[in-house]
Amino acid sequence: MASSMKAVTFTEHGGTEVLKYTDIDRPTAGEGQVVIKNEYAGVNFIDTYHRSGLYPRSTFPAGLGEEGAGTVVEVGPGVTGLAVGDSVGYVSRSTLGGSFAEFTAAQAGLVTKLPQGVSTQAAAAVLLQGLTALSMVKTTCQVAAGDWVLVHAAAGGTGQLLCQLCSDIGAKVIGTTSTPEKAEVAKRCGCSDVILYSHEDVVQRVMQLTNGKGVKFVYDGVGKSTFDASLKCLDYLGWLICFGNASGKPEPFDVLRLAEKSARLMRPSLFSTLAAEPGLTASLTAELLQLVQQGVVVPEVHKVYPLSAVAQAQQDLTGRKTTGKLLLRPDT
């Protein structure tokens, strides 16, 4: 097998111009790892934070990509339950290589053998955002039937999955989107009402819809531009789950502002949640893939780009041109 491979790397933080589609060494499987030949890699907003330096890298050259799916081609020492030829999906903290590469060496504990009926495309489209959504709905917070929930960027990758999961539980889901077209997508994902947050007063609409009470949970992956409204939309003892920074990092925050509603502020991270409890990755992934098989969770693929077009994919994502999931194909 060739000792080099195509991958996306960068040697300094910046715009998409820093991304290079280049040749690097093909990884080998270390202790507890498997090497996967990627068929698809999932594009996530977090990749843009690593590239820009919002989440700075300590060493260069660096790679990108935190999820993918494909076939196991090598099994390292100490790995059980996975074999060469298995069709798998995985999440992985990105390293040089990452999933934006032809091959990835991933920790076996974060790799899942795909069940019948779940394709590599579906796995790469749903794992990272789906585990994020499922963990925030069932693990770090528990949404229950009848709860009011507000999901920002409801037509986005993570947003769609949050809406599907919360509405399946029986929660009453309000979404926000920037355009009427995206609002239709959010409604198909289970939102009873969608607020066009670029034009409408979000707090006023939420209070109208909830008879002045507010919502129990706000899922806010938009960050800087929505933080204040999110806080004002909460019911007594409500949770502001501030899980991302698509519009930038929220400003420093005075905790006294929580007092008005005795509100709770959480900043969850998928990887810290998965690391906190042994076995959680396996059980949550199994639950997520079962929900995919049942059609409760339906990942929508916006577009599949060749790996060499990673810059375009990131520009489309940050330019708010997309709904659902963007994928890369490393072999094109």
SS (H, E, C) 191-230: CCEEEECCCCCHHHHHHHHCCCCCEEEEEECCCCCCHHHH
- Per CB under 6 A, does 87 bind ligand NDP? no
Instruction: Based on the shown chain and the rule CB under 6 A, indicate whether residue 177 belongs to the binding site for ligand NDP.
Output: yes
Alpha helices by DSSP H, the chain: 45-52, 120-134, 157-169, 180-188, 202-209, 227-232, 270-276, 280-294, 310-318
Binding part of the chain for ligand NDP, among 10-18, 33-41, 42-50, 138-146 by CB under 6 A, reads: 42-50
In terms of CB distance, is 25 or 277 closer to ligand NDP? Answer: 277
The reply to whether 153 sits near ligand NDP by the rule CB under 6 A is yes
Map residues 296-325 to x or -, x wherever contact with ligand NDP holds by CB under 6 A: ---------------------xx-x-x---
- Is 132 one of the binding residues for ligand NDP (CB under 6 A)? yes
Distance of closest approach, residue 175 Cβ to ligand NDP, in angstroms: 9
Q: Which position among 162, 243, 265, 281 is part of the footprint of ligand NDP (CB under 6 A)? A: 243
Least Å distance between CB 270 and ligand NDP?
A: 3
The CB density around residue 222, as the number of other CB atoms within 10 Å, is 25
Binding segment for ligand NDP (CB under 6 A), chosen from 81-89, 143-151, 154-162, 166-174, is 154-162
If one asks whether residue 269 binds ligand NDP (CB under 6 A), the answer comes out as yes
Could you tell me the smallest distance in angstroms from the CB atom of residue 274 to ligand NDP? 9
Closest approach of ligand NDP to the CB of residue 60, in Å: 22
Binding status of residue 27 toward ligand NDP by CB under 6 A: no
Instruction: End-to-end CA distance of the chain: give it in Å, rounded.
Output: 18
Interface with ligand NDP includes 219 (CB under 6 A)? Answer: no
Q: Is 183 within 8 Å of 203 (Cβ atoms)?
A: no
Reduced to 3 states (helix: H, G, I; strand: E, B; else coil), residue 263 is coil
The Cα 91–Cα 114 span in angstroms is 13
| Paired tokens of 62 | 């660096």
User: Rounded CA gap, 313 and 305, in Å?
Assistant: 7
Helix pair 157-169, 120-134: axis angle to 10 deg = 70
Instruction: Report how far residue 212's alpha carbon sits from residue 231's, in angstroms, rounded to the nearest whole number.
Output: 14
Q: Per CB under 6 A, does 140 bind ligand NDP?
A: no
Q: How many CB atoms lie within 10 A of CB 204?
A: 13
Shortest Cβ distance from residue 101 to ligand NDP (Å)?
19
Task: Give contact residues for ligand NDP (rule: CB under 6 A).
Answer: 44-46, 128-129, 132, 153, 155-159, 177-178, 182, 221-222, 225, 243-247, 268-270, 317-318, 320, 322
